[in-house]
Chains A and B, each alone.
Chain A
Amino acid sequence: MVDLGSVEAIPPAETADVELYHPKSWLTKYVFCQDAKVIAIQYSVTALAIGFVALVLSWLMRLQLAFPGSFAFITPSSYYQFITMHGMIMVIYLLTALFLGGFGNYLIPLMLGARDMVFPYVNMLSYWIYLLAVLVLIATFFTPGGPTGAGWTLYPPQAILEGTPGQDWGIILMLISLILFIIGFTMGGLNYVVTVLQGRTRGMTLMRMPLTIWGIFTAAIMALLAFPALLVGAIMMLFDRLLGTSFFMPAIVQAGEHLKYGGGSPILFQHLFWFFGHPEVYIVALPAFGIVSDLISTHARKNIFGYRMMVWAILAIAILSFVVWGHHMYISGMNPPFGFFFATSTLIIAVPTAIKVYNWVLTLWRGDIHFTVPMLFALGFIVTFVNGGITGLFLGNVIVDVPLSATMFVVAHFHMVMGVAPILVVFGAIYHWYPKITGRMMNETLGRIHFWITFLGAYAIFFPMHYLGFMGAPRRYYEMGETAFMPASAMTLNIFITIAALIVGAVQLAFAFNLIWSLFKGREAGGNPWRATTLEWQTPQTPPGHGNWGKELPVVYRWAYDYSAPGADGGFLPQNQPPAAPASRAAA
């Protein structure tokens, strides 16, 4: 038995307390601020705002799919542009930025008992470059020709050829925006990783870190190793587009005319893209895994089941996810042994993932479950993630994937597993940490309404898509037209999905309202409304002040999951609670 709960003597400080940078003016305090908490809020607000654009685009796509041709401004070209921008924004500019830039910045220093990130200045630059990337992205909507319609995967050769919407400006700015995003992310990512490795407070061993931090930390490392592939792909595609090189461009005859390209490899781009793209799924999922673990443990008042196993599972997933990218390329054609390899490695990832799911369920087992709003979202995540994970197992097999790959089944799968599931965690996490960030609780009733409509609505939207996909409804189609294989009732289903999507979209406005309303009218939260053990709830001030901890850094005596501790005041022991007496060491 590993005695995770036991306590030990205080280790001496290994490094001197850092001196903080003290902002001198209003501008450096609230705008060009180096405090990770402010940067976190800047990141989150920007990400949510651009995410809202992606949400609106999804409404437009759904309207077109349900009522084809009823809206004059949705042409086939603009439909492709909506798809592309929706996918790209959701995956990269919303989820990646929010989990790492938003939650990472806020939680890493606080949960580790640090005063700030290790390089606050670089951290600040990270946000401003991210903002620039977002602005360049938005600019594509206003350029001649509009944003690119190449699909979020940007596959060449079509991405840069005439005939694809946004060929003249959209694709160029898209690639530039991605390059900026990666530069900005690298600056932040280095901070997150180094702060976790080197900036912890006394007593905070890695194996005492809350799983939230494990998830964000691992995801940040993965991102530092995965984004390079996208960066290289983006640079080379920019060359192909601007200089007429042929990295990705084979010899092409378009409209009876030989293009200037020849000899490049379109498959090369797919490899680069998915070497980034698959880990990206886990860059989004691992922070969600970590956050869910903490939400469940806190709101079920029980220690997390199998902490060590959870950590190893995170690391195993991270490593494995770098060797499975080929499962996105089955239909591009590959040597059968490679197909076999990628299918096998893909299915093996299910093992550590399943371990995590079992551990969550076992944490809930006989827990004192409080159905708070964050808990509801965490439970919603588990169900949804299992759901999307299982269809993932299907698609991991070459023979199943080939017929389903370009259908709505895939759309349903990835929305479940990397759309809905992480978004539910985002919401849960916001409801959970909002009291710490603002000092006020979010409105509970609105929160419940938000949860149930979002959760059930997501199923109403994406469940039927599995069925449509099975019937053969293709992905990325502007309209189905008359087909022999699709019954007329499929159209009714499409209308149903669209209505559900609009309702789910509308309830997000209620969430936005709740965010703002609670800022002024929410119930006072106090320092630790959820009676949680982790350090961020033990700060001397709420919201935490500059430097987080007042004069003395906290000292950590125990792991993050001492809930249901016998005899403890309120049934839980914060991480910085010293042992009662040396005698208790023997008992543990």
Chain B
Amino acid sequence: MTKTALTNMGESIARPTGWAGFSADWTSDQRAFKSASWGKVMIWIFLLSDTFIFSCFLISYMTVRMSTTAPWPNPSEVFALTIGGQEIPLILIAIMTFILISSSGTMAMAVNYGYRRDRVKTTALILATAAFGASFVGMQAFEWTKLITEGVRPWGNPWGAPQFGSSFFLITGFHGTHVTIGVIFLLIIARKVWRGDFDHERRGFFTSRKGSYENVETMGLYWHFVDLVWVFIFALFYLW
């Protein structure tokens, strides 16, 4: 076997180089990812799987957009708001995008303060992230209501291809569900940080695993992913 494990025999071992070295590193003893905990590896792989889900949704949306014979409604007009007598295209979506991206910033700061074991700031930043997330969902609900009152339904709309409404409700709904789940977990984590669970390694109610500030980072990875997905939805659904 190629030797990648440390030995305690005090002799030097020639490490393989090139492809052999690459394979030896990745297949090495006990752990493939030396610095990553179980939870972090799990969330990364989950997100990879989730990426495939969103990719399938977006590719399917593009396919039906091509297959439908009716004209596709113009998103700049559909998603415009009239503010002060003036029609501003995509204004709400722009604000929503801005908010979600800001929430990624507060989340990153929360992770940082978490590792510094600053309970108060971490809690505050997580709560801010959750508030951003909740307002995003709120604005999405507003947008849905607006479109529904204008007659957009999953099976049809006044302006053209029925697939427009179908894809819109499906994709934003699926993403919104992700955000909502994220907000719920943010609140749970915020409570745990505030209560000091991660300082005292208090055990989880269900899992009976010791708590640690790493949970904040795991949460953060999910949150950043949800933001990133939104960027693609924004580009492919609203801007195209």
B-contacting 9-mer, from A36-44, A71-79, A221-229, A449-457? A221-229
Contact of B68 among A200, A244, A264 (CB under 8 A): A264
**Contact of A229 with B56 in the complex, beta carbons under 8 Å:** yes
Contact residues of B between 39 and 77, Cβ < 8 Å to A: 41-42, 45-46, 48-50, 52-53, 55-57, 60, 63-64, 67-70
B-contacting 9-mer, from A46-54, A205-213, A544-552? A205-213
Decide yes or no whether B145 CB sits under 8 A from chain A: no
Residue of A nearest to B10 (CB): A9
**Contact of A245 with B154 in the complex, beta carbons under 8 Å:** yes
Chain B residues with CB below 8 A from A355, complex form = none
Chain A residues with CB below 8 A from B206, complex form = 121
Residue of A nearest to B46 (CB): A190
How distant is B219 from chain A, measured CB to nearest CB, in Å? Answer: 16
A-contacting 9-mer, from B28-36, B93-101, B189-197? B28-36
**Contact of A198 with B33 in the complex, beta carbons under 8 Å:** yes
A559 to B2, CA, bound (A): 11
**Contact of B7 with A21 in the complex, beta carbons under 8 Å:** no
**Contact of B42 with A194 in the complex, beta carbons under 8 Å:** yes
Decide yes or no whether B27 CB sits under 8 A from chain A: yes
**Contact of A11 with B64 in the complex, beta carbons under 8 Å:** no
Q: Answer whether A235 and B170 are a contact pair too, CB < 8 Å, given A8-B7, A246-B163, A262-B162.
A: yes
Decide yes or no whether B4 CB sits under 8 A from chain A: yes
Contact with B along A306-346 (1 / 0, CB 8 A): 00000000000000000000000000000000000000000
How distant is A421 from chain B, measured CB to nearest CB, in Å? Answer: 28
**Contact of B33 with A263 in the complex, beta carbons under 8 Å:** no
Decide yes or no whether A268 CB sits under 8 A from chain B: yes
How distant is A29 from chain B, measured CB to nearest CB, in Å? Answer: 15
How distant is B35 from chain A, measured CB to nearest CB, in Å? Answer: 10
Contact residues of A between 191 and 237, Cβ < 8 Å to B: 191, 193-194, 197-208, 221, 224-225, 227-229, 231-233, 235-236
How distant is A226 from chain B, measured CB to nearest CB, in Å? Answer: 8
**Contact of A186 with B163 in the complex, beta carbons under 8 Å:** no
Decide yes or no whether A56 CB sits under 8 A from chain B: no
A314 to B41, CA, bound (A): 22
Chain B residues with CB below 8 A from A13, complex form = 30
How distant is B233 from chain A, measured CB to nearest CB, in Å? Answer: 14
**Contact of A207 with B2 in the complex, beta carbons under 8 Å:** yes
**Contact of B4 with A205 in the complex, beta carbons under 8 Å:** yes
Contact of B64 among A198, A229, A231, A247 (CB under 8 A): A247
A206 to B32, CA, bound (A): 8
Residue of B nearest to A190 (CB): B42
Contact of B7 among A11, A228, A265, A268 (CB under 8 A): A11
Q: Answer whether A207 and B60 are a contact pair too, CB < 8 Å, given A193-B45, A197-B33, A244-B154.
A: no
Categorize the interface residue count of chain A. Answer: 35 or more
Tell me the number of A-to-B contacts counted with CB atoms below 8 Å: 174
**Contact of A119 with B38 in the complex, beta carbons under 8 Å:** yes
Categorize the interface residue count of chain B. Answer: 35 or more
Contact of A15 among B30, B69, B70 (CB under 8 A): B30
Chain B residues with CB below 8 A from A4, complex form = 1
Chain B residues with CB below 8 A from A11, complex form = 5-7, 29-30
Chain B residues with CB below 8 A from A257, complex form = none
Q: Answer whether A559 and B1 are a contact pair too, CB < 8 Å, given A260-B155, A263-B67.
A: yes
Q: Answer whether A206 and B26 are a contact pair too, CB < 8 Å, given A225-B48, A244-B154, A263-B68.
A: yes
Residue of A nearest to B49 (CB): A224
**Contact of A264 with B27 in the complex, beta carbons under 8 Å:** no
Decide yes or no whether B102 CB sits under 8 A from chain A: no
Decide yes or no whether B208 CB sits under 8 A from chain A: yes
**Contact of A208 with B1 in the complex, beta carbons under 8 Å:** yes
**Contact of A264 with B64 in the complex, beta carbons under 8 Å:** yes
Decide yes or no whether A423 CB sits under 8 A from chain B: no
Decide yes or no whether A14 CB sits under 8 A from chain B: yes
Contact with A along B111-132 (1 / 0, CB 8 A): 0000000000000000000000
Chain A residues with CB below 8 A from B50, complex form = 228
How distant is A53 from chain B, measured CB to nearest CB, in Å? Answer: 29
Residue of A nearest to B38 (CB): A118
Chain B residues with CB below 8 A from A121, complex form = 206-208
Q: Answer whether A203 and B163 are a contact pair too, CB < 8 Å, given A11-B30, A197-B31, A232-B57.
A: no
Decide yes or no whether B80 CB sits under 8 A from chain A: no
Chain A residues with CB below 8 A from B34, complex form = 14
Decide yes or no whether A564 CB sits under 8 A from chain B: no
Residue of B nearest to A585 (CB): B9
A119-B207, A232-B60, A246-B64 given; name 17 further pairs at CB < 8 Å.
Answer: A2-B1, A9-B5, A121-B208, A190-B42, A198-B30, A198-B41, A200-B29, A200-B30, A206-B32, A232-B53, A236-B60, A244-B155, A245-B154, A247-B166, A262-B69, A263-B161, A272-B56
- Name B's A-contacting residues (CB within 8 A): 1-9, 23-24, 26-34, 36-38, 41-42, 45-46, 48-50, 52-53, 55-57, 60, 63-64, 67-70, 154-155, 161-163, 165-166, 170, 174, 206-208
Question: What are 24 inter-chain pairs, A to B, with CB distance below 8 A?
Answer: A2-B1, A12-B8, A190-B45, A193-B45, A197-B33, A198-B36, A199-B38, A203-B29, A204-B29, A205-B27, A205-B29, A207-B1, A207-B23, A228-B52, A232-B56, A243-B166, A244-B154, A244-B155, A245-B155, A245-B165, A260-B155, A262-B68, A264-B68, A272-B56
Which 5 pairs from chain A and chain B are nearest by CB?
Answer: A206-B27, A263-B68, A11-B5, A228-B52, A245-B166
